[in-house]
Amino acid sequence: MRRLALLVVALALAGCPALWSALPRIAQGAQVLGSLLDVAAAGSEAYYARHPSQAAQAEVDQALRLAWTALAALDAGVLAADGADDEHLALRRSRALEAYEQLRLLLDGLGVLGARPPDGGSESDAPLPEPFELPPASEIERRMR
């Protein structure tokens, strides 16, 4: 995240208004995605501590890994981009948003977002997980424009 802050400062010092207006919004969107992935990881950990399921937890872990990988590629793309209209940056942004949306839909489908107990699943004595919300990828994409 420090690199993103350095990018914003470098753009401000360079006095490039076209880059200043677009790339920082993409960088900020990437930071938001990172925060949301942290929330998703913590929420799923709390959920599966209470409602253990190796298969479902492995599926969520895989989706989280894919989302983190796509986000890392987006961060690298922001740093390497010639401008906000860079073709590779657009592809990386799309992939990161798609991976995030797939994770969000998976968590919703498994009941993690609503903290709904699984049908007939096992339950431990861990604290009850709380419901949480993750905004749709389209909302994050709007902030990146």
pLDDT tens digits, 15-33: 454 444 578 999 999 999 9
Kindly report, residue by residue over 90-136, the tens digit of the pLDDT: 999 999 999 999 999 999 999 999 999 998 877 999 999 999 999 99
CA distance 123 to 120: 9
pTM of the model: 0.84
SS3 47: helix
Please state the domain extents for the chain.
2-144
Give the pair of three-digit tokens for residue 1.
């995240």
Distance CA 130, CA 113 (A): 8
What is the dihedral sign for C-alpha 79, 83, 84, 85?
negative
- Among candidate residues 109, 102, 94, the one with its CA nearest the CA of residue 136: 102
